[in-house]
Structure 1
Amino acid sequence: MAALAPPTTSSKPPLPPRLALPLALALLALAFVADFLSYSSAISPAVSPSSKTVKDGSTKLRNGSQPVRHLNATFSDLPAPHWEWEEMPPAPVPWLDGASVQIGDLFYVVAGYESLDHVHSHMDVYNFTSNTWTGRFDMPKKMSNSHLGMASDGRYIYAVSGQFGPQCRPAVSRNFVLDTKLRKWDEMPPLPVPRLLGVWRVELSGF
């Protein structure tokens, strides 16, 4: 009688290294996350020293107590000064992107848009003492109509560069100075490069 052949056991081929390594890393990461979650659930949450405790009055627990929430100080109400606003007389014309400066009790507002297609070429003056708009005079014809920089030393008003004309146009480098006593404009040397200055106000001293 012929001898029986020993039974053969079929075994799956081992995973190639390019698959075994990512699988091992995934299992290791899963074990790490599970361990972290079990540890964090075993300890009570820490409360930041900069936080405050508040009670939620809208709900109650079974024992009758109110649930407690911890708010970080970032979300707490901060005390703020209370300022009273007073409405001034309406401006003679609508303004947008003009420039302004105050000297004493006079407030000078110059140029600016009335609409995208219309810009102002004058200066209006508001008197804080009489609470009225008291005067108007023209700007130089070549002076910017919007995005000006403006500064004052107490008598002279300096208007620096900006945009000439309506719509959106390139910046210019022309600068002008106004003698508020004589209400006389003079042109200053131009800037080295054109620029749009937007809302820019500086009080000069020592001149």
Structure 2
Amino acid sequence: MTTSEDSEEAEVDGRGLPVFDTEQEFQDFLERKFEENEYTAIQEVSPHRSNYRADLLLMHDEFGRIGLELKRLTGGSDAGKAHQQIVRQYSGKRYIGERVNLWAFAPYIPKLQAARMHDNRHQVGFQGGKLEVLEHFFQRYGIGVLNVHETTYARLKWGSSREYMLPAFPMKRDFPEGQKNKYNLESIRERVSERLYPEKDVF
């Protein structure tokens, strides 16, 4: 099995994203990229008094704690499962002594990446449309999306405007000048509170 480091050397798309054969390779890649960019990232963390395990727990000096559930999407209902896991099992629970109220979903879509690498515009449009629908669906429920297929840099997005986007990590290129710090953390927390925790005061 190739590691994320091996896959970066072997096969990388035009956005700087490696090809991942397994979900674990994708998870290892995300852990390393976040660690390189001012986050602490821990894999497979369980909520207090629970046997469930969230894929990644991110800790940042300014942003606080963010939970991340990822999927390698090849069809079926994996995205729906991720949504239910976040809403029913993970969100608002205590991890390593503190509650984690910000959550995001990270999809990796092999068909979309392959279509871009082979310049298959029809499939790019089709798969990209599916990803856009997923993004809007999760955001509607107050769950952010880490879209690694979108640009040469990755953002955690709770909405379509820049105030709802936290910088995650660069891939092929760094963040454009002036875009990295356009976020408004208070706006993100307000949106999450309204949509994911409508009956609680969590921030």
TM-score w.r.t. length of structure 2: 0.25
Please identify which structure carries the higher strand content. Answer: 1
Quick check: which one's helix share is greater? 2
Using CA pairs below 8 Å that are at least 6 residues apart, which structure has the higher relative contact order? 2
